[in-house]
Structure 1
Amino acid sequence: MPVYVTDKPLNLTSHDVVARARRALATRRVGHTGTLDPLATGVLVLCVNESTKLVQFMEADSKDYLAWISLGAGTPTLDAEGPVDSVADVPALGAVQIQALLDSLTGPQMQVPPQYSAIQVGGVRAYAAARAGEHIDLPARPVTLHELTLLGLYGGVQQTPRTFAPDAGGRWQISDSGFTFALPPALGEFPTLLVWARVGSGTYIRSLARDIGAALGVPAHLSGLVRTRAGRFRLEQAVSVERLAGATGLDDLLALDLPTIAATPNLALRLRQGKRPEWTGAGRFLVTLEGSLVAVADGDGQTLKVVRAWA
Structure 2
Amino acid sequence: MPVIAVDKPLGLTSHDVVNRARRARGTRRVGHTGTLDPLATGVLVLCVDASTKLVQFMEADTKAYLAWISLGAGTPTLDAEGPVTEQQHVAMPTDEALDDLRETLYTFIGPQAQVPPQYSAVQVGGRRAYAVARSGGELDLPARNVVIHSLDLLGVYPSVEEAPHAFSRGDGGWTPDSDGRSFTLPPPLGRFPTLLVRASVGSGTYLRSLARDVGAALGVPAHLAGLVRTRVGRYDLAEAVSVEHLADAEGLPDLAALDFPHIEANERLARELRQGKRPKSAALGRHVVTLDGSLVAVVDGDGGALRVVRAWA
TM-score after normalising by structure 2: 0.96
Residue 193 in 1 paired to residue 195 in 2?
A: yes
Aligned to 1:168: 171
Determine the structure 1 residue equivalent to 2:223: 221
Aligned equivalent of 1:113: 116
2:105/2:151 contact within 8 Å kept: yes
The answer for the alignment partner of 1:158 in structure 2 is 161
Q: Which residue of 1 aligns with 2:235?
A: 233
CA distance in 2, matches of 1:301, 1:4: 34
Give the aligned partner of residue 4 of structure 2.
4
Matched, 1:57 2:57: yes
Equivalent residues of 1:50, 1:310 under 8 A apart = no
Asked whether the 8 Å contact 1:63–1:229 carries over to 2, the reply is yes
> Do the aligned partners of 2:157 and 2:194 also contact (CA within 8 Å) in 1?
yes
Residues 66-121 of structure 1 deviation map (CA, whole Å, 9 limit, x = unaligned)? 00111111100000011111101114423222112111221111111000010100
2:33 corresponding residue in structure 1: 33
Following superposition, the deviation at residue 263 of structure 1 comes to 1.6
Partners of 1:105 and 1:173 in 2: CA distance: 21
2:255 aligned residue (253, 256, 277): 253
Given that residues 40 and 225 in structure 1 are in contact (C-alpha distance below 8 angstroms), is that contact kept between their aligned partners in structure 2? yes
Give the equivalent residue in structure 2 for 1:179: 181
Shift of 1:243: 0.3
Runs of 4+ in 1 over 4 A off after TM superposition: none
Greater displacement, 93-102 / 70-79:
93-102
Amino acid at match of 1:73: A
Change in Cα spacing, 1:92 to 1:236, as seen in structure 2 (3 Å) is: closer
| 2:104 matches 1:138 | no
Query: Any conservation in 1 of the 2:34–2:45 contact (CA below 8 Å)?
Result: yes
CA distance in 2, matches of 1:283, 1:53: 20
**Is the contact between residue 232 and residue 254 of structure 1 (CA under 8 Å) also seen in structure 2?**
no
Q: Secondary structure at the match of 1:246?
A: coil
Is 2:288 the partner of 1:308?
Answer: no
State the 1:305 CA deviation: 1.6
Contact kept in structure 2, 1:157 and 1:191, CA below 8 Å: yes
Secondary structure of 1:21's counterpart equals helix
Is the contact made by 2:92 and 2:157 (CA closer than 8 Å) also made in structure 1? no
Which one of 126, 131, 134 corresponds to residue 128 of structure 1?
A: 131
- The offset of 1:162, in angstroms, is 0.8
Of 242-251 and 64-73, more deviation after overlay is shown by: 242-251
One-letter amino acid of the counterpart of residue 301, structure 1:
G
- Residues of 1 paired with 2:42 and 2:234: CA distance? 14
Q: Partner letter of residue 241 of structure 2?
A: V
Q: Tell me if the contact between 2:92 and 2:158 (Cα under 8 Å) persists in the aligned partners.
A: no
The runs of 5 or more residues in structure 1 that have no matched partner are none
2-side partners of 1:162 and 1:31: how far apart? 30
Structure 2, unpaired ranges of 5+: none
CA contact (8 A) 2:91 2:193 kept: no
Give distance in 1, aligned partners of 2:74 and 2:58.
32
Q: Could you say which residue in structure 2 is the equivalent of 1:274?
A: 276
